[in-house]
Every structure is written in C-alpha cells, then in structure tokens.
Amino acid sequence: MYKEYKDYGHNHVVESCEGQHDGDKKDSCVKEVLEAILKAQKKVSKMHREWKSSCNESINELLERHKRLKKNTIPFILYSGCGPFKGTGVTTLPGSPKKKKFVCVSSFIFRIKKLDDNCAVLELLVFKPRKSKSNAHKDCYPCSLIDLEFVEDLMKTGICIKVDLSSFCGITCLPAVYL
C-alpha cells in the first residue's frame, strides 16, 4: 500500500507493507525496493519506467544516461511499526594513534551496501555539520534532520550496520545523489 503526502510542494510516496505481513512470507516490499536500489546503484545504466513512486522515480533518475555520471546513490529512510528507524554506529575521530576518540553517529538516512537473504548492510549517511546550525532537535524525526540542508552536504560516514529486513514495514526514497 502506498501513502502519499505533500511536503514543500513535492509529492512523496511512503511505500509500506500495511496489510502485507504474513509470517510465512520470506520477501517483503522493503526488501524488493532495496534490491531494486542496489541493482540500480551497481548498474547505473538503462532506464526502466514501470511504477510511479518516489523510490522508482529515484531509481529511474539514477539510471538516466545524462545524469549517470553525476548520481550514484539513492538515499532512503526506513520505517518500522514504531515509526522512522534511526541507525546508530560508532567510529573514531582522526587524531594521533594514541589520542583517538570515539564518536557516536546516528541517522535516519541510509545507503544500501549489500543484500543477503533477508538482511541488508546499510551505510549511515549524514549532512556535513554547519557551525551556525543548532542540532537541538535533530534526534526527533527525519524531517528535522533533512529540512533546509544542501543536497551536496549529504555524505557517507563509512559506518555500516546490518539489519533484518523483516523488522521494517515501509521505505521512503530521497532523490538520487552523488556521494
């Protein structure tokens, strides 16, 4: 089932598995979308215009010949029964080998790296920090993280998490970008 909403004049479709949960069903709509995104990111070639949804529009945008060299990633947000999924990972800050510090990174935005059976390896994506911007409400909802950010400021973190796709019931794709 697709739920459409409007935000700043753009139509978005949240793809959800509402009414599709079956305990015996191995594949989910989230997995199908992630498979398509991964295939498009790897292939980045011919166009396919089969469905009309935010994820498929992003996939098609990634595959368009004239945009191919400029875009290589379809960022997305996952949803569980509790709402948007926020992934968390840990890395170290650069510094001298004896003075490295841990830093915890959380994000609602991901890039698919690998898909095996019903598990996926996702890379956390974040926006470059800006000194003048307050981060007070960044932990609440995806829109508080994304609103008014520059597309070119979205960046890879190198932090990956492995998730069980059966835990998710919806996905929203962002427009294709170059990372």
The whole-model pTM stands at 0.72
DSSP annotation of 46: S
pLDDT attached to residue 139:
62
Structural domain span for residue 22: 2-173
Model pLDDT, residue 27: 54
CA angle 179, 106, 67 (to 5 degrees): 15
**Closest to 160 in 3D by CA, of 112, 121, 127:** 121
Place 20 in a pLDDT band, splitting at 50, 70 and 90: very low
In a domain, 97, yes or no: yes
Most confident of 17-26, 38-47, 53-62: 53-62
Residue 74 located in a structural domain: yes
| 3-class secondary-structure state, position 68 | coil
Domain count, the chain: 1
